[in-house]
Structure 1
Amino acid sequence: MESTLYDYETAARERLPRPVWDFLAGGSGTESMLNTSREALDRLTLRPRCLVDVSDCRPDTSLLGSPLPAPLGIAPMAYHQLAHSDGELATARAAGASGTLLTVSMFASRALEEIAAVAGGPLWLQLYWLRRREPMLDLIRRAERAGYRALVLTVDAPRIAHRPRDVRNGFALPAGIRAANVDPAVMTATHSAAAGQSAIARHAREQFDSSITWKDLAWLRERTELPLVLKGVLTAEDAELAVQYGVDALVVSNHGGRQLDFATPAPDALPEIADAVAGRCQLILDGAIRHGADIAKALCLGADAVFVGRPVLWGLAHSGSDGVAAVLRTLMREFDEVMALMGAPDVQAFHRSGIARK
């Protein structure tokens, strides 16, 4: 019997220490947002078309000029070594085996250059805006030299939200796991465990710059020629501003339920954002992707592609690079089947008319 993504979730929960599992799986506040994006996708049904030639379905597409075998990429997630000792190297090998896009977190537990050396697919670099801009600029220069193809600025985290599991566990990074690409002086707080506190949240309070505005994007634009992607946009108003400021792509995301509690679920926000940008920049739906049908639903809602997050870490915890590769293969196989049964020979065949709400 073939495994589903939920089989990898079960295995990861059993294998990982409880505080690590809670850090990866937990949400903010009441944790209401952990399920809302999944529920939003489950409210959608597919409307297939018949008598369409689907003898040669083409799931391939491109994001910001990079060809992809399917409209699927890996979301930025910090510290892959929490799930497996090979960390981002294992993830990059698995992504590269199929040409899948990997978005590397600025808080990756492996060096940018090491990851690039084993990656066979396109790489993007994710950034948080720090109070000290020199470490950001250093990362950007290193990414440019290593062949990364875009910068992803996370904009929904001016501070880290209260995450009750991490507070209850007094979570701090275990010894031997660190942000390999950031000056250790910037990361000291992440290793300082204290009862009733999250070291990750304490680090963010010390280091994240919560004063940045849209005008700061001009500063970033002047210092790199890489395409700029904003992650964490949930409204048409912000999407319009992003286009005006020359952003190349948006990741429609509620941060995996780890930031604003009671926010609009990303799948519900996507249609208004797609209508607002009207093709002027590319759109990626992030979060709650658990089946190939979810990719089809996202395309119908207006996305150009999706990002998958936690299931990649589940596969990593299960069996390293092989587990990640299996997760990606499962999603691609399911999506290929959905394309044929939907009467969609290519990704351009998905439109708003292809879905209905329960």
Structure 2
Amino acid sequence: MSKPMLVCVDDYEKYAREHLNQHSVAYYTCGADEEVSVKENRQAFRRFRIKPRVLRDVSKRDLSTSILGQKIDFPILIGPAGTQCLVHHEGEVAAAKAANAMKTCIVLSTFSTKSLEEVSQAAPNCLRWFQLYIWRPRSIAVNLVRRAEAAGFKALVLTLDMPILGKRRSEWYAGGFQMPPHLHLPHLPKELMGQAKEDARQEYGAPADMVIGASLTWECVEWLKSITSLPIILKGILTPEDALLAVQHQVAGIVVSNHGGRHLDYVQPTIEVLPKIVEVVKGKVEVYMDSGVRTGTDVFKALALGAKAVFVGRPIIYGLAYDGEEGARQVLQILRDEFSLAMALSGCSSVSDIKQEYLMHESQLAKL
């Protein structure tokens, strides 16, 4: 039986919801508590309207950009999302192959079901970053950093916004996250892996206080800088105050992110806080964003508001559920094509043309 023709990211989500088991659907799609943040991440993009310019030569468009000095073909990166073998047997390897085919970057999760080494071997020419948590004991993080360096990963993405786990009701109602016995998490030492999860508040069967670290402070950033020469990007920045602290700690970049609304409900949508954060950092660090990106016009809007590039997580999961590597590649291709179309119809022939002047917030419409 042939697969249905899918034309947008929402189609892939619909397919995944219809074909994955309820535990996987709940785990990947749910948000914290009432899921207001999940919904607002999408609604906030819709509150920005594009102001296109006309009679611009857009017959040829250059979508390429650079991140930390590395060129990519378009400003859409695969963000860190764990346990991808739940939806396809090749998991993160398939996602990395898709990123390589599309000449963009993948950020591999600490909670990947494929190892740093497997991903590196499968996609040696792909630009790869590694997402990291600071563990207790810190020797665990040191080991992962060394493995990332040896495997040719080019940056570390330190996730900051999960000091403790949020409450995801949908996941509870589905019976909690269950790691199938045939899967394992190769970046977690065996001593951290518990028995099959019985408590839905406990992620991946490992003790939550060891996984995340509620006692961490900005000192951990300096510590991480002291053990590696890899560029460090801080993921989970939502306020100008924390963005300024990131600049003070001389990191390479920040990701404006609310973790896809998965841990704290009623936080600000990332697209709405992005402009102020870009303003205060004054170009001293590269600024990326995630949470809620589903269309090429979303990408256009994020770049207009100052993002260097965007990360997508859930859309790649949906693509993997549809057809593994090919499905993930299709999702990236759709987003790339939609972004190119948005550029052309807005009067932009290169990424550098995309400025804030091309956007208007709906609150300004009444003033016209």
* Coarse TM-score class (shorter-chain normalised): over 0.9
Task: Work out which of the residue numbers 328, 348, 352 in structure 2 matches 1:348.
Answer: 352
Q: Is the 8 A contact 2:301 2:359 kept in 1?
A: yes
**C-alpha distance after superposition, 1:4-56 (max 9, x if no partner):** 11111111111111011100101111111111111000111111111212121
Q: Could you say which residue in structure 2 is the equivalent of 1:79? A: 83
Q: TM-score, normalised by structure 1?
A: 0.96
Indicate the SS of the match to 2:215. Answer: coil
Amino acid in structure 2 at the alignment position of 1:21: V
Q: Could you say which residue in structure 2 is the equivalent of 1:181? A: 187
| Whole-Å separation in 2 of the counterparts to 1:35 and 1:200 | 25
**C-alpha distance after superposition, 1:266-318 (max 9, x if no partner):** 11110110001011111111011111111100011110100011010000011
Q: Is the 8 A contact 1:231 1:253 kept in 2?
A: yes
The CA deviation at 1:163 is: 1.2
Q: Is the 8 A contact 2:193 2:206 kept in 1?
A: no
Aligned pairs for 1:270-285 (under 5 A) are 270-285=274-289
Q: Could you say which residue in structure 1 is the equivalent of 2:119? A: 115
Task: Work out which of the residue numbers 124, 138, 149 in structure 2 matches 1:133.
Answer: 138
User: Which one is further off, 163-172 or 145-154?
Assistant: 163-172
Name the CA shift for 1:121/1:199 in 2 (closer, same or farther; >3 Å). closer
Indicate the SS of the match to 2:227. Answer: coil
**C-alpha distance after superposition, 1:107-166 (max 9, x if no partner):** 110110110112232000001111111111111111101110000000000011111122
Aligned pairs for 1:146-295 (under 5 A) are 146-168=151-173, 169-188=175-194, 191-194=195-198, 197-200=201-204, 203-295=207-299
Amino acid in structure 2 at the alignment position of 1:178: H
- Unpaired segments of 5 or more residues in structure 2? 363-368
**C-alpha distance after superposition, 1:212-247 (max 9, x if no partner):** 111221111010000000000000000000001011
Q: Is the 8 A contact 1:60 1:69 kept in 2?
A: yes
| Whole-Å separation in 2 of the counterparts to 1:210 and 1:196 | 19
Aligned pairs for 1:30-45 (under 5 A) are 30-45=34-49
Q: Is the 8 A contact 1:86 1:320 kept in 2?
A: yes
Q: TM-score, normalised by structure 2?
A: 0.94
Q: Does 1:21 align with 2:25?
A: yes
Q: Is the 8 A contact 1:172 1:198 kept in 2?
A: no
Q: How many residues align?
A: 356
| Whole-Å separation in 1 of the counterparts to 2:200 and 2:83 | 22
Q: Could you say which residue in structure 1 is the equivalent of 2:365? A: none
The CA deviation at 1:175 is: 1.2
The CA deviation at 1:199 is: 4.3
Q: Could you say which residue in structure 1 is the equivalent of 2:147? A: 142
**C-alpha distance after superposition, 1:56-115 (max 9, x if no partner):** 110000111111100110110111101111111111111110111000001110110110
| Whole-Å separation in 1 of the counterparts to 2:14 and 2:240 | 37
Name the CA shift for 1:291/1:70 in 2 (closer, same or farther; >3 Å). same
| Whole-Å separation in 2 of the counterparts to 1:202 and 1:223 | 25
| Whole-Å separation in 2 of the counterparts to 1:342 and 1:159 | 42
Q: Is the 8 A contact 2:105 2:128 kept in 1?
A: yes
The CA deviation at 1:170 is: 3.0
Q: Is the 8 A contact 2:56 2:347 kept in 1?
A: yes
User: Which one is further off, 168-177 or 144-153?
Assistant: 168-177
Task: Work out which of the residue numbers 292, 315, 321 in structure 2 matches 1:317.
Answer: 321
Amino acid in structure 1 at the alignment position of 2:142: L
> What percent of counterpart residues are identical?
38
Indicate the SS of the match to 1:222. Answer: helix
| Whole-Å separation in 2 of the counterparts to 1:346 and 1:197 | 46
Q: Could you say which residue in structure 2 is the equivalent of 1:51? A: 55
| Whole-Å separation in 2 of the counterparts to 1:35 and 1:150 | 31
Q: Could you say which residue in structure 1 is the equivalent of 2:312? A: 308
| Whole-Å separation in 2 of the counterparts to 1:130 and 1:63 | 27
Q: Could you say which residue in structure 2 is the equivalent of 1:333? A: 337
Name the CA shift for 1:199/1:347 in 2 (closer, same or farther; >3 Å). closer
Q: Is the 8 A contact 2:297 2:338 kept in 1?
A: yes
Name the CA shift for 1:198/1:134 in 2 (closer, same or farther; >3 Å). closer
Q: Is the 8 A contact 1:74 1:312 kept in 2?
A: yes
Amino acid in structure 2 at the alignment position of 1:12: A
Amino acid in structure 2 at the alignment position of 1:186: L
| Whole-Å separation in 2 of the counterparts to 1:224 and 1:233 | 22
The CA deviation at 1:203 is: 3.1
Amino acid in structure 2 at the alignment position of 1:136: A
Amino acid in structure 1 at the alignment position of 2:93: L
